């Protein structure tokens, strides 16, 4: 199976970020972000197009259809504009590379897809990272809203963003002296992330407050456990998966092998704030809990379709289970949760998931910059589109910001459901 990275990328937050060696050159770009930093890894090489084909359109039901060919790109018109600027513009004209970057971003804006994006070399070097579970940044999951603002989905408990007073719903307006409103996710993340021990100053707008405020945060190195598991006091098994790294399925199997001999009454599988990871690991994790059947449908821009399946005989197919999800559950997390929900294998409890269900292919360009192009979208077994919609829990349970420390209303509801069957 090809390895596709199903990430909702990130700002240390999750402190986490993209990840992995790009096998086949395909990863998902996240609406979600971890603010963190990792060693660079190679991605695919771009192939320059010879003509401008026009955008793809999405038909009802989610299939993508290429638009009619719009002819060769009008390079002459672009050159005319550039010549007129040089001759007549009253002011300083940026250097040629800056103008080229601006033209590229302008083209991408016409696609109405925030995940097809251009990333300048410095940001690209930071974002080509592996999935090691160790990060440097501020510790918060973020996403780009439709209006171009970078929104904090959730600060990670015990990490710098939370300690500095950042809250879910905050909008980051500036990083140091640079406005990030309207920037792509990756450019914004590259400004926020940085080495542990360094400081970053954020200008923040908080819903309900008239004025913005600034906060200075000292970045830190954050090590995230990928899997945590235990038996709860009431005989319920609990597994939390924080990302779909290259060994996620093996980690979940190891947890089950440790827990099942305790004869648990049920299992709580916690995917809250899990931004995603490798596609092949999402399929394998789903397979652990599902018998033979459909896990995921992937449709590409040319109308092609690929189906991913699960098979009989895995360790977790019989134990009663509940899956916890929230607004930070994205991409690979939504693949697994959607399959378990659609096939009646598990009940989802918590809050609406993010809705990150598109696939991006990264292309490394000649100057070290990168172009990420949306090439496909994902659909659940019942043909529900993940992208832009997310998953609605079977049992909706909010997690109020003022919940006392140590309390978890979503976890408590999951325990109640497994013990009482409702």
Query: Does some domain include residue 336?
Result: yes
Rounded to the nearest angstrom, the gap between the alpha carbon of residue 403 and the centroid of all alpha carbons in its chain is: 26
E strands, 138-226, are 140-144, 150-155, 171-175, 178-179, 199-205, 213-218, 220-223
Cβ pair 287, 257 in contact under 8 A:
no
Confirm whether 145 is domain-assigned.
Answer: no
* Measured distance CA(9)–CA(141) in Å, rounded: 9
Rounded to the nearest 5 degrees, what angle is found at the Cα of 277, between the Cα atoms of 198 and 203? 35
Q: Does some domain include residue 52? A: no
Q: Mean pLDDT, the chain, as a whole number?
A: 82
CA distance 11 to 142: 7
At 298, which CATH number? 3.90.226.10
Taking the C-alpha atoms of residue 190 and residue 141, their distance in angstroms, rounded to an integer, is 14
Confidence of residue 31 (pLDDT cuts 50, 70, 90): very low
Q: Can you state the angle between helices 279-289 and 332-342, rounded to 10 degrees? A: 30
99: pLDDT strictly greater than 50 = yes
311 alpha-carbon distance from chain centroid: 27
pLDDT-derived band at 134, boundaries 50, 70, 90:
low
Cα distance between residue 199 and residue 356, in whole Å: 30
Q: 1: pLDDT confidence band, cut at 50, 70 and 90?
A: very low
- The winner for highest mean pLDDT among 130-139, 144-153, 303-312 is 303-312
CA atoms within 13 A on the CB side of 79: 4
Contact 397, 408 (CB under 8 A): no
Closest CA to 28 of 231, 276, 209: 276
Q: How many residues does the chain have?
A: 422
Report CA-CA distances (Å) from 81 to 50, 51, 75, 307, 420: 21, 20, 10, 47, 69
pLDDT in tens, 213-263: 999 999 998 766 789 999 999 999 999 998 898 899 999 999 999 999 999
Measured from the Cβ of residue 366, the count of other Cβ atoms closer than 10 Å reads 8
Mean pLDDT of 266-295: 95
Selection from 244, 38, 48, 8 nearest residue 136 by Cα: 38
Is 303 contained in some domain? yes
Quick one: average pLDDT of 356-371?
Answer: 91
The number of distinct structural domains making up the chain is 1
Q: Which of the 8 DSSP states describes residue 33?
A: E
Do 224 and 72 form a contact (C-beta atoms < 8 A)? no
Has residue 389 been placed in a domain?
Answer: yes
Measure the CA–CA gap between 89 and 76, rounded to whole angstroms: 19
The mean-pLDDT minimum among 59-63, 225-229, 294-298 falls in 59-63
Residue 311 predicted with pLDDT over 50: yes
Q: What is the pLDDT, as a whole number, of residue 70? A: 58
- The most confident of 341-355, 363-377, 400-414, by mean pLDDT: 341-355
- Burial bucket for residue 421 (CB in 10 Å: 0-12, 13-18, 19+): exposed
Question: Encoding tokens for residue 79?
Answer: 């050159």
User: Coil, strand or helix: which one is 260?
Assistant: helix
Q: Average of pLDDT values for 13-21?
A: 25
Look up residue 160 and give its two tokens: 């710098």
Per the structure, the complete domain to which residue 288 belongs is given by 227-358+375-420
- C-alpha count within 13 angstroms, C-beta hemisphere, residue 323: 31
On whether residue 261 sits in a domain, the answer given is yes
Residue 403 lies in a domain: yes
Q: Is residue 216 part of a domain?
A: no
Question: What does the block give as tokens for 300?
Answer: 């590409």
Q: Tell me the Cα Rg of the chain.
A: 22
Q: Are the C-beta atoms of residues 246 and 275 closer than 8 Å to each other?
A: no
Which pLDDT score, from 0 to 100, does residue 417 have?
Answer: 97
Q: Could you give the C-alpha distances from 154 to 14, 31, 88, 228, 389, in angstroms and in order?
A: 9, 13, 48, 20, 19
Over residues 289-305, mean pLDDT: 95
- At residue 41, the pLDDT reads 28
Which sequence positions are flagged as catalytic? Answer: 331, 342, 356
Q: Which residue has the higher pLDDT, 58 or 169?
A: 169
């Amino acid at each position: 199976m090809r390895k596709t990275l199903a990430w909702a990328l990130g700002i240390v937050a999750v402190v986490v970020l993209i990840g992995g060696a790009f096998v086949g050159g395909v990863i998902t770009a996240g609406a979600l972000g971890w603010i963190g930093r990792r060693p660079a890894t190679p991605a695919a090489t771009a192939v320059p197009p010879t003509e401008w084909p026009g955008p793809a359109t999405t038909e009802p039901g989610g299939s993508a259809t290429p638009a009619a060919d719009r002819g060769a790109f009008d390079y002459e018109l672009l050159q005319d504009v550039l010549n007129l600027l040089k001759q007549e513009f009253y002011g300083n004209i940026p250097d040629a590379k800056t103008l080229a970057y601006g033209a590229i971003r302008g083209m991408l804006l016409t696609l109405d897809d925030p995940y097809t994006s251009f990333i300048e070399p410095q940001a690209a070097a930071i974002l080509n990272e592996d999935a090691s579970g160790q990060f440097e940044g501020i510790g918060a999951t973020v996403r780009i809203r439709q209006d171009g603002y970078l929104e904090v989905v959730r600060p990670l408990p015990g990490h710098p963003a939370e300690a500095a007073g950042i809250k879910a719903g905050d909008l980051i307006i500036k990083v140091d002296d640079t406005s990030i409103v309207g920037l792509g996710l990756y450019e914004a993340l590259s400004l926020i992330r940085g080495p542990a021990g360094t400081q970053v100053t954020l200008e923040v707008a908080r819903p309900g407050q008239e004025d913005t405020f600034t906060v200075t945060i000292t970045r830190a190195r954050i090590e995230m456990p990928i899997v945590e598991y235990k038996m709860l006091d009431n005989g319920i098994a609990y597994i939390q998966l924080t990302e779909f790294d290259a060994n996620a399925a093996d980690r979940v199997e190891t947890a089950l092998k440790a827990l099942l001999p305790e004869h648990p009454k049920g299992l709580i599988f916690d995917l809250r704030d899990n931004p995603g990871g490798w596609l092949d690991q999402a399929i394998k994790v789903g397979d652990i809990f599902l018998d033979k059947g459909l896990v995921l449908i992937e449709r590409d821009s040319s109308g092609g379709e690929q189906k991913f399946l699960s098979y009989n005989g895995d360790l977790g197919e019989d134990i009663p289970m509940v899956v916890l999800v929230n607004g930070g559950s994205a991409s690979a997390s939504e693949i697994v949760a959607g399959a378990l929900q659609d096939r009646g294998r598990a009940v989802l409890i918590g809050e609406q998931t993010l809705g990150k269900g598109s696939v991006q292919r990264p292309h490394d360009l000649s100057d070290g910059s990168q172009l990420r192009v949306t090439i496909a979208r994902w659909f659940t077994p019942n043909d529900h589109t993940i992208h832009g919609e997310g998953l609605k829990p079977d049992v909706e349970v909010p997690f109020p910001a003022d919940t006392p420390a140590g309390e978890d209303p979503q976890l408590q509801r999951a325990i109640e459901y497994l013990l009482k069957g409702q």
